[in-house]
Amino acid sequence: MSEAEITPEAVLRFKAEGDRLRDERHWKEAASSYATYLEAKADDWPIWIQYGHCLKEAGDLAGGLGAYRRALSLEQNNSDLHLQIGHALKLLGAHEDALEAYGAAFALDPQNSDAKVEIAAMQQALALAKAEAEKPKPPPRFTRLMFDVSDLIQYMKEWRIPTGIQRVQLNVIHNALTAFEALTKPIIIHFDQSVGNWRPISRDAFLQLHDAAMSSDGLAEEEFLALLQETEDSSEAAATFER
């Protein structure tokens, strides 16, 4: 609509329509009517506030804050206006700026009980956030890989020279223990039928097992059995699983 088409009567109708739609909680429609009115009456700061309310209620928090700040440029000494700016900033997550706005509202009107309540609540929220930020951070959690080599151990009790799948398994675990140890922090276990429980195999014991098994000479039975004895005792095993 051009300026020539907006008569003083029409301007007032847009304002009245905005008021009616606001009261009926038709926020978007009310905001549209107020916006048209403000094109002609840009210095009407109370309507900028109403426009801001409608935008905020319609979900446009940033637009509502912009309207409140436009009103503030025209009237800086209204306590309720500073309060509404504080509300918008709080909803936007700008808590320190919200506290400043609430403080300005209370400074202009010490009888503004809403500002007093919001100041106390915001100070408490900021104090809690600061305390949370200052808490010592827990150590980072690491991913650990656990390798069950029960089948490999059983195979090598009977056949000390590994074949294809056993070679793959030996090499995968060897790489986890060497090149990728910092990332994988591997644990190697096997099920010991003689005690009916899981046993860990130490890093050094497995590396010796790997090197002997992958050599061309294979691994003698006595050597193999001796390597299996180089495992953690029960207390060390428990500590391994807890880390």
Q: pTM for the complete prediction?
A: 0.57
Percent over 70 (pLDDT), the chain: 85
The mean pLDDT value of the chain amounts to 85
Which has the higher per-residue pLDDT, 65 or 224? 65
User: Looking up tokens 């637009």, which residue turns up?
Assistant: 63
- Residue whose entry in the numeric block shows the structure tokens 């009888």: 111
What percent of the chain stands above pLDDT 90? Answer: 49
- Tens digit of each residue's pLDDT (9 = 90 or more) over 204-230: 888 887 887 777 565 566 766 666 666
- SS3 state at 45: helix
Provide the b/e sequence for 72-82 (b: ≥16 CB within 10 Å).
beeeeebbebb
Residues found in the chain: 243
Q: Which two tokens stand for residue 11?
A: 């301007």
Q: State yes or no: pLDDT of 238 exceeds 70.
A: no
The answer to whether 205 touches 227, Cβ cutoff 8 Å, is yes
| Residue 237: burial class (beta carbons within 10 Å; 0-12, 13-18, 19+) | middle
Domains of the chain, earliest start first: 3-134 (1.25.40.10), 146-242 (no CATH)
The predicted pLDDT at position 7 comes to 85
23 residue type, one letter: D
DSSP state of 190: E
Return the half-sphere exposure (C-beta side, CA atoms, 13 A cut-off) of residue 182.
1
pLDDT at 135 > cutoff 90: no
Average pLDDT over residues 130-159: 81
Q: Which pLDDT band, with edges at 50, 70 and 90, does 160 fall under?
A: low
